[in-house]
Amino acid sequence: MFKKSPIKLLGLLFIGLVLLVGTTGSAESAKMQNIRVTLDWTPNTNHTGLYVAKELGYFAEENLKVKVVQPSKTTAVQLTASGRTEFGISHQESVTMARDRGVPVVAIAAIIQENTSGFAAPADTGIESVQDFENHRFGGWGMELYNKIIRSVMKEAGADFSTVSFVNLGMTDFVTAARKGMADFFWIFYGWQGMHAELAGLDFNYIPAKSLSETFNYYTPVFISSEGVIQKKPELVEKFLRAVSRGYEYAAKNPKESAEILLDHASELDRELVMKSQKFLSDQYGKGVDRWGVQEKSVWTDFTNWLYKNGLIDKRIPVEEAFTNEFLPEE
């Protein structure tokens, strides 16, 4: 055996110490950052890209460990604004009305480019147009927004809004409420509730909101963050959106595989509904734009003006402060 001199031993110890420090430093720099994302509702195909980014390691590649939180009595807007969650999922109307009240939330990406919600009515009600709303009952969640939309579109069509009555359905789903005759027409998100109704064999007519006015083709849903996170941790916002955009791009190209991922994370969901819904929404995520998530100022301006005109906000908020494309990946 060869004997090492004291000088050589000291050299080896020094090299080992350098390697140890280097490894520790690398591990420290690669330390995962825990963040939370609060949903707007229970898991569904609006959220698929988020779960894809978790499952396929896109968040991990950005050194992010994401916990998905379901809202309870506290909304995603409230939790995000208060700093209890770094990111959330909400809707353009909710962000606008929140900012009108001084709540510092900002939309950082549009999950779907066009509004896929609208009015639905069982075929046997005979409701096929806005004029047919007369003398019928609207079933909703008790939100003034939809009442004002109905008033607006009926006025435009020369119909009598005063003949419409309103029923608060709470959490009752569209199919159940329709079959039990709890109301005559409803506001639904076609990509989920409409698909559910089709699978259930419910014969219904559908009037897309965007077909009534371009003003109603607003962004719903959107990812949000707070002004505090955006100002203090811009690199975090960039990393989050870089990962989540990859998730939605994957879901857009691979509806079946991404639906399976959503089902793995939310096994309580109906498999047939998830598959049908995902096939529809995968075509909607980036429809008409070059990159997922981008938002247009004109969309924010038009709908903000409508909200102000109809008394749902007290002032015309500066829309350039309500949304940003700054942190979206360039490609």
* Closest listed residue to residue 54, CA positions, set 248, 233, 238: 248
CA gap 88, 37 in Å, rounded: 5
Contact assessment for residue 95 and residue 169, using Cβ atoms and an 8 Å cutoff: no
- Which pLDDT belongs to residue 30? 62
- Which pLDDT belongs to residue 173? 94
Phi-psi region of 212 (alpha: psi -120 to 50; beta: other; left: phi over 0): alpha
Share of the chain above pLDDT 70, in %: 91
pLDDT digit string, tens, across residues 254-295: 999 999 999 999 999 999 999 999 999 999 999 999 999 999
- Which pLDDT belongs to residue 73? 79
Average pLDDT over every residue of 127-137: 98
Q: Read off the tokens for 39.
A: 């949903």
Q: Is the pLDDT of residue 23 over 50?
A: no
Q: Is the pLDDT of residue 5 over 60?
A: no
CA gap 32, 227 in Å, rounded: 23
Angle at 241 between CA 109 and CA 216, to 5 degrees: 10
Q: Read off the tokens for 242.
A: 């870089």
Average pLDDT over every residue of 175-196: 97
Give the pairing of strands 105-110 and 87-90.
Answer: unpaired
- Which pLDDT belongs to residue 74? 84
3-state DSSP assignment of residue 201: coil
CA gap 204, 198 in Å, rounded: 8
Q: Is the pLDDT of residue 301 over 50?
A: yes
- Among 26-40, 55-69, 100-114, the range scoring the smallest mean pLDDT is 26-40
**Domains detected in the chain:** 33-114+219-321 (3.40.190.10), 117-216 (3.40.190.10)
Query: pLDDT band at 171, cuts 50/70/90?
Result: confident
Q: State the average pLDDT for the chain.
A: 91
In this structure, the number of other CB atoms found within 10 A of the CB of residue 261 comes to 22
Q: Which amino acid is at 79?
A: L
In this structure, the number of other CB atoms found within 10 A of the CB of residue 207 comes to 19
Residues 6+ apart with CB under 8 A from 131: 154, 157, 158, 159
Contact assessment for residue 105 and residue 95, using Cβ atoms and an 8 Å cutoff: yes
3-state DSSP assignment of residue 121: strand
Contact assessment for residue 225 and residue 106, using Cβ atoms and an 8 Å cutoff: yes
- Which pLDDT belongs to residue 27? 42
Pairwise pLDDT comparison (207 vs 3), residue with the higher score: 207
* Closest listed residue to residue 213, CA positions, set 315, 115, 91: 115
- Which pLDDT belongs to residue 147? 95
CA gap 252, 280 in Å, rounded: 10
Share of the chain above pLDDT 90, in %: 87
In this structure, the number of other CB atoms found within 10 A of the CB of residue 110 comes to 26
